[in-house]
A and B are shown apart, each in its own frame.
Chain A
Amino acid sequence: MDKKARNAKKKGIIKSLWPYLYGSKRYFILGTIFMLTAVIASYVKPYVISFTVDYAIGGREIEDAPNFLMNWIESLGGREYLIEHLILCAAALLLCQLCYALSVHLRGRCIGTASENMAKTLRDNLYSHLQRVPYDYHKHVSTGDLIQRCTSDVETIRRFIVNQLMEVLRTVAMIIFAATIMFSMNVKMAIASTVMMPILAIISFVYFKNVKKQFQSADEAEGKLSATIQENLTGVRVVRAFGQQSAEMEKFTHDNADFKEKNYKLLKMLALYWGCTDCLGYLQIAISLFTGIYFATTQPEVFSIGNLLLFTTYTSMLTWPVRQLGRVLADLGKMSVSVERLNEIFDQEKEKEPGKALKPQIRGEIEFKDVCFGYDTYDDVLKKISFKVKPGSTIAILGSTGSGKSSLVQLLQRLYQCTSGSITIDGVDINDIESGHLRRNIGIVLQEPFLYSRNIMENIRITRPDASDEEVYEAAKVASLHDVVMSFENGYDTIVGERGVTLSGGQKQRVAIARMLMQNAPILIFDDSLSAVDTETDAAIRDALSLRKKDSTMFIISHRITTLSTADCILVLDDGKLIASGTHEELLAKDGLYKRIAHIQNQLEDELIEEGGM
């Protein structure tokens, strides 16, 4: 990548993080101020000690002492007074520490609040964005990857703000303060006290840039180890059924040993790093100490014991943060990668209203006019579908897997946009109806319904949280669900979904039906949503439904003739085309798919008689 492009990228990162930082600007500014006061307090404290030792105890004249301080001491009674009241010096020391303590506490509070606010806003925005991108997007991305981005990448950015950014600022502030004080006091000593620091920072930087590979291979070994355990656990039946325990043990031993070796190798490298940089750091302190002792011994009039203590203290205060600085800088790359990964999500546009966003009263008259549709750029899922539905009628759809049945009903909800042609409800193009309004008026039950991680009661009344328990029971009864739920230990309080009880496919479908009934929508769609319940229950549910939902327009996708035969109109789809439509009787009168399926019943009788020898 050339320099220009890289700069552009960097700018993009700051630009995309800026709103989040800006949102908590007050906390950031306050936090930075408290960080600075903490740094100042931490530098004043050694000065108090040095001043006490030199002036009060040692009786030396302090040339560079601030005037106000000397004036104040003079007004109290000079050095003699201080000697008698050393407690004043001790109190000053404590005061410094108190300032420091308060600053550190407040800095933590501010920066913590700022970074957590930022992380929270980032998470909230991500979540709400993901809720509002077109469904098509979700079909194309992997769940695991998205979750990874929403959790680890956000964490990387948060950590960058709360640890790294503040750490860098603090270290820089410390270097500036310390350098100013030290160089103004004694240039030679100042040089001796900082000479090793750039080396230390550079070594850390280079080291952590290069050890990445080792970290990665240790991570991979860990991933492999967990995968092996997980596989063994999920495949325990296979392992036992084949009596392969000893082979599995061998495999695990290999992975376990590999994990141990890789980690040990990494940790050994870290050991080397800590050992070496500790040496270097202490060497820096030693150089400062040696030079100080030399000056204090040979030129006591220029360089006092207090100065010596001051310089060695400043040096040891500065050494370790400088080492850390190298590491932080080496880790910066991680942050920018995370920001980019999040930006990729935010770059995905949200679902938009394509038309006038009307909210008309919906009766349920539906017309498809030459509707074509295809995923991505293909235009082959639905081909020129046209039909008309009167309000309150029931439409059954028959077709093979991949014939476009599900796409057809999903177009009605505008989960996808048709590529050409138009769909109207009560004469209004659905593109002109606000999507929320449209979907609220169309209830749909999917073949593999998704239930939220909460109890059954809450799941059913999810669209109407204020609905009474009785209403829920009633809907559940229509869906032949009530008795099933009552047989559960916790009844309607049974938690389902990801972290709850696993319901069978048929039970899930019935919960979804009850949930949809609570919506009271004038248009209902059953997308093969009774496939997992037995035929008797299927019939019972449909009977109850037709009683309750007399005025609703209903779409039923099914391949059960008993289900199909009662519909006002049956649409037969094949390979994206509408090949036949009409009532049960009309379709029986014509040769075709429907007739063949419908005649199976008779066929079956014949065959059974043959087989059973009756």
Chain B
Amino acid sequence: MSDYNYIEEQSYDSKIDVGIWKKIFRYALVYKKQVIIAALTMILTSGIDIAYPLFTTYAIDNFVEKGDLTGFGWFIAAYLGAIAIQGFCVYNFVKTASKLEMGISYDIRQDAYLKLQKLSFSYYDKTPVGYIMARMVSDIARLSEMIAWSVVDLFWALTYLIGVIVILFVLNWKLALIVMVVIPPLVVACIYFQKRILKNQRTVRKANSRITGAFNEGIMGAMTTKTLVREEKNSEEFVEITSEMRHASIKSIVLSHTFMPIVMLLAAVGSAIALGVGGRAVVLSAIGSVGLIGTMTYGTLSAFISYTSNFFEPIQSLARILAEFQSAQASAERVMTLIDTPCEIEDSAEVEERYGDAFDPKPENWEPITGDIKFENVSFAYKGGEKVLSNFNLDVKAGQTIALVGETGAGKSTIVNLICRFYEPTEGRILIDGRDYRERSQLWLQRSLGYVLQQPHLFSGTIRDNLAYAKKDATLEEIRAAAQMVHAEDFILRQENGYDTEVGEGGVRLSTGQKQLISFARVILANPKIFVLDEATSSIDTETEQLIQNAITTVLKNRTSFIVAHRLSTIRTADRILVIRGGKITESGTHKELLKQRGYYYDLYTTQFREEQSQGILNK
């Protein structure tokens, strides 16, 4: 988890933003019952904490001083009762606060995740996965933990502080007034140090993530380091980073070992005053005279001494809560920003009414899709960027296969993204079966769409789970038929558990080529009307590629399809090949027609052909 930390280091000294916290606390208010129970148990706990010294006071004044043990049994019973109640309270508040914490984190995560399922691709293109992970995992954990436990602590600290002050004033208001002088410096010291400590912890965390990064680099780049003879230099540079870490860590330790002694010293000033001034009063009381602060018993004196030496605890807690709120504000902002991010692509209210949304679709109202696709004067620019497409026109009849060729950045992926409605045109419109696709729901299109990516993504689970991803109720026969079609069954059956082999996180246990085959079969099983193959076969070896080439031809029959390919040998049979350069179609026609033109396509094809043939001979 700590890996994500380096991302989260942003503003720190910001003022408390009430608006954000209101939103966060709304999550806590769902658990009104828990909040109330936690608050009540905390008040009870601090009441008992306050009572303990009073028990001693009572015992000294009533038993010891009088030399008489009458009522000692009741005293014991009451004391044990208090212990039992406190034990129960502790159990109860830990349990309740935990429930609160887990409940809040659960709810915030649900909301955030739901938002993530709705956000458009423009968000994902700009936001690295690491950032989102940091929000989803550590920020939310931190927030909910803080809210739940700070509520508990807050109630305890406030009750304890107020209770002690009230009791001291009741016992002897003059002495109470005198010992109160330590409170202001205590408050100042606590706030000052708590803030510095939290700030320093942040520096330590940053240094720590730099160390992790350096280890990562040192290990990943081991070979390069050897070839460049950088071992010595790298180690020297690493020492600099660890020195920084040591410096920050020692500072952090020293800081907290300065803070506590100072706070306790201040508290001891209170005790010393109580002992000096109160002790004098006890002596005077014993000989029957009355001094500056009135009469005092031994019991009261002991109460004063023990209360003053515990004074700092609630103050320290309050300062800590305050500092934590300040430092967690950045987390709160990030989480709330995520939840409040507007979706750029949203179905209109009417569309949603008629077709349903992604979570509650109304497929009964969906018109069947034929597959005519038309770009009408489509222009497109990524937010804040230059136009990638301008006035782009393309008319594709249902069942046609269109290949897109061009350099990286020429606009091929943009066209694909627009077809899938991952983005929408900035100007112009895209018609599917003659109607602007914005008049239908996103799900309507995407459920009829098959998309095979260059970097195939599998989900952890078995091969079978992955094949049936888009058709959860598929039978084994259907699954096998799809796998056989792309010649994937051979390697699947060679796996340890055949179709039930776990693929690992992101499919790590399979090669890229194997993953591509599975993601291909997965699409076939979904039986879509529109196919998009985005460099779908780039990592499959030539031999297998030739095998599945026939399969592709069969599969694409009667479906509208778009193929983006670097390997031109795979698109020779396309109905139309479009060369895209600079957001425009520069060449268009069949393979033969384009070769005749001796243009860009011809050059590209000949170069590639040469290389592929050499590879073929070499790797036979």
Contact = CB atoms under 8 A, between A and B. Distances in A.
Interface of A: 45, 49, 52-53, 56-58, 83, 86-87, 89-91, 93-94, 96-98, 100-102, 104-105, 107-109, 111-113, 116-117, 119-120, 123-124, 126-128, 130-132, 135, 138, 143, 146-147, 150-151, 162, 222, 225-227, 229-249, 252-253, 256-257, 259-260, 263-264, 267-268, 270-272, 274-276, 278-279, 282-283, 286, 289-290, 293-294, 296-298, 300, 305, 308-309, 312, 398-401, 413, 415, 436, 439-440, 442, 444, 446, 449-450, 452-453, 462-463, 497-499, 504, 515, 519, 534-535, 559-561, 593, 596-597, 600-601, 603-604, 607-608, 611-614
B447 A112 contact: no
A80 B69 CA distance: 32
Contact of B261 (A104, A242, A247, A264): A104
A56 B279 contact: yes
Contacts of B506: 231, 234-235
B59 A597 contact: no
Given A271-B91, A282-B86, 9 more contacts: A96-B268, A109-B257, A127-B234, A131-B234, A147-B216, A233-B133, A249-B114, A249-B359, A297-B68
A305 B64 contact: yes
A231 B459 contact: yes
Interface of B: 1-2, 55-56, 59-60, 63-65, 67-69, 72, 75-76, 79-80, 83-84, 86-88, 90-92, 94-95, 98-99, 101-103, 105-106, 109-110, 113-114, 116-118, 121, 124, 129, 132-133, 136-137, 208, 211-231, 234-235, 238-239, 242-243, 245-246, 249-250, 253-254, 256-258, 260-262, 264-265, 268-269, 271-273, 275-277, 279-280, 282-283, 286, 298, 301-302, 305, 358-361, 408, 420, 422, 442-443, 446-447, 449-451, 453, 457-460, 469-470, 472, 505-506, 519, 526, 532, 591-592, 595-596, 606-607, 609-611, 613-615, 617-620
A440 B232 CA distance: 13
B212 A147 contact: yes
Nearest to A596: B617
Contacts of B592: 611-613
A286 B276 contact: no
A89 B275 contact: yes
A222 B137 CA distance: 9
B249 A131 contact: no
B106 A57 contact: no
A275 B95 CA distance: 10
Contacts of A515: 228
Contacts of B239: 124
A252 B137 CA distance: 13
6 contacts: A87-B276, A89-B279, A162-B253, A243-B447, A270-B94, A274-B94
A272 B276 CA distance: 42
A130 B218 contact: yes
A286 B272 contact: no
Contacts of B84: 279
Majority SS at the chain B contact face = helix
Given A143-B220, A226-B137, A604-B606, A242 B447 contact: yes
B457 A237 contact: yes
A246 B235 contact: no
B257 A289 contact: no
Contacts of A236: 121, 124
B103 to A, nearest CB: 7
A138 B223 contact: yes
Contacts, number: 419
- Would you list the 10 A-B pairs with minimal beta carbon distance, nearest first? A108-B257, A275-B91, A112-B253, A101-B261, A279-B87, A267-B98, A271-B94, A241-B451, A90-B276, A97-B268
A611 to B, nearest CB: 6
Given A57-B282, A227-B505, A123 B595 contact: no
B510 to A, nearest CB: 15
A127 B446 contact: no
B86 A271 contact: no
A401 B619 CA distance: 7
A498 B76 contact: no
A162 B80 CA distance: 37
Given A94-B269, A123-B211, A462 B228 contact: yes
Given A94-B268, A446-B224, A612-B596, A603 B254 contact: no
A401 B358 CA distance: 46
Nearest to B239: A124
A83 B102 contact: no
Contact of B460 (A58, A109, A227): A227
B195 to A, nearest CB: 19
Contact of A597 (B113, B256, B275, B618): B618
Contacts of B117: 232, 239, 245, 248-249
Nearest to A312: B56
A267 B96 CA distance: 10
A399 B620 CA distance: 11
Contacts of A290: 76, 79
Given A256-B110, A286-B80, A264 B229 contact: no
Contacts of B273: 90
A276 B246 CA distance: 39
Given A101-B262, A127-B238, A309-B302, A147 B459 contact: no
B79 A289 contact: yes
Contacts of A87: 276
Contact of B215 (A146, A227, A275, A439): A146
Contacts of A111: 253
Given A116-B250, A275-B90, A612-B595, A131 B225 contact: yes
A244 B59 CA distance: 70
Contacts of B114: 249
A276 B136 CA distance: 35
Q: Kindly name the residue among B88, B219, B220, B422 whose own CB sees the greatest number of chain A CB atoms within 10 A.
A: B219
A418 B540 CA distance: 33
Contact of A278 (B55, B86, B505): B86
B229 A535 contact: no
A131 B610 contact: no
A45 B361 CA distance: 73
A268 B95 contact: yes
B595 A608 contact: yes
Given A108-B253, A108-B256, A268-B98, A246 B617 contact: no
A99 B505 CA distance: 57
A523 to B, nearest CB: 12
Contacts of A449: 224
A127 B214 contact: yes
B99 A264 contact: yes
B72 to A, nearest CB: 7
A297 B229 contact: no
Contact of A143 (B132, B216, B228, B230): B216
Contact of A440 (B88, B213, B229): B229
B457 A128 contact: no
Contacts of A102: 261
Given A93-B271, A233-B116, A246-B359, A297 B67 contact: yes
A593 B617 contact: yes
Given A234-B129, A413-B227, A245 B359 contact: yes
A268 B98 CA distance: 7
A611 B614 contact: no
A240 B64 contact: no
Q: Kindly name the residue among B121, B268, B360, B505 whose own CB sees the greatest number of chain A CB atoms within 10 A.
A: B268
A234 B507 CA distance: 12
Nearest to B2: A151
Contact of B238 (A100, A128, A398, A601): A128
Nearest to B136: A229
Contact of A146 (B219, B254, B305): B219
A246 to B, nearest CB: 5
B129 A279 contact: no
A47 to B, nearest CB: 13
A400 B83 CA distance: 79
A563 B63 CA distance: 104
